Structure 1
């Protein structure tokens, strides 16, 4: 059975909500085993990820960048980089911030760059912004990909507890990312 790892940091629980929905999407086919990893549990041995066919990276966007703990994880992967163990694995990413923009795109670019450094194959979100359809309220929180991201899944969380935000549309977007990565792993790995 093919395997996908969802590797994430979540400072306040909002990015974890995304990670859980990415996991749900990656598990839907029944042909892919998906596992969730908090970076805190991997930092001492990132080589645990070597056995996976795909890795989906997730980080909150803090100050226009991935979180400090996620950057520490990125740096720890240099040990794997020397071996080339992640070359040709499938990769994707997701991020969350409080602001509508919050420079989330920059965080996704950092995740793409991490994947490229390892020689991984990046899978985009592959979804249109459903809130841009005629008759639909632009940015509707119930719509898939309401933030119009194509590089990876983005979510926007209000300043509320993680059980109240991000909105369902952003969580559905995360789920669709997981599903797409699982399909890519089945097709290309």
Structure 2
């Protein structure tokens, strides 16, 4: 089995919903399984810490999760055209994974959600790609052969899956389709790239 880490931060639930659809896409591919993980909030109070295990939802990611995965889907809400601070904080502390080369030559994809049509989805996706390039990962997007990418009037970009919140947190049919397709493409590629 190839283990695909679906790592996300979600404040209002939209990015989490995307992660779940990406995980379904991963698990639609024979020989692949998805592992959903999140990161804790970043506190503005230096003394405050979160419990080791969240009260509900996905477990917090560990460096070992990164070391063991066969591929990575990274997701964040858009905050002023960039990834959210909690996800960036985790990524900034992955130097030992970078030194080991554990993610080198493994596939990765990115996804985001935002509150408005011009909220910076594509710059957020690009901001999440940069550390993955440094980790030596092989970045995947969504090809134009995906009908939903050409037809969507909500979220979806060639750079990765996206969701635009038009006053509702639920994903559109096209957004769900593109999340699923991105997960399936990531899993298929991970299987092809897995060392024999």
What interval of TM-score do these two structures reach, taking the shorter chain for normalisation?
0.7 to 0.9
Q: Deviations over 1:139-160 (max 9, x none)?
A: 445xxxx54x111111112333
Matched, 1:105 2:110: no
Who is 2:18 aligned against?
18
- How high is the TM-score relative to the length of structure 2? 0.82
Who is 1:155 aligned against?
163
Over 3 Å counting, the alpha-carbon distance change for 1:132 and 1:106 in structure 2 is closer
How far apart, CA to CA, are the structure 1 residues paired with 2:181 and 2:33? 16
How far apart, CA to CA, are the structure 2 residues paired with 1:131 and 1:168? 9
Unaligned runs of 5+ in 1: none
- How high is the TM-score relative to the length of structure 1? 0.85
Who is 2:176 aligned against?
171
How far apart, CA to CA, are the structure 1 residues paired with 2:166 and 2:63? 32
How far apart, CA to CA, are the structure 2 residues paired with 1:25 and 1:103? 25
How far apart, CA to CA, are the structure 1 residues paired with 2:147 and 2:106? 30
Q: Deviations over 1:22-53 (max 9, x none)?
A: 0000000231011111123446x323221111
How far apart, CA to CA, are the structure 2 residues paired with 1:158 and 1:67? 20
Who is 2:78 aligned against?
61
Q: How far apart are 1:179 and its partner, in Å?
A: 0.5
Question: CA contact under 8 A between 2:106 and 2:193: conserved in structure 1?
Answer: no
CA root-mean-square deviation: 2.0
Aligned with 1:82: secondary structure?
A: helix
Mapping 1:1-189, distance limit 5 Å: 1-40=1-40, 41-42=59-60, 45-128=62-145, 130=147, 139-141=152-154, 147=156, 149-160=157-168, 162=169, 165-189=170-194
Question: CA contact under 8 A between 1:158 and 1:166: conserved in structure 2?
Answer: no
How far apart, CA to CA, are the structure 2 residues paired with 1:132 and 1:57? 19
Q: How far apart are 1:173 and its partner, in Å?
A: 0.8
Question: CA contact under 8 A between 1:131 and 1:140: conserved in structure 2?
Answer: no
Aligned length: 176
Aligned with 1:100: secondary structure?
A: coil
Q: How far apart are 1:100 and its partner, in Å?
A: 1.4
How far apart, CA to CA, are the structure 1 residues paired with 2:103 and 2:132? 9
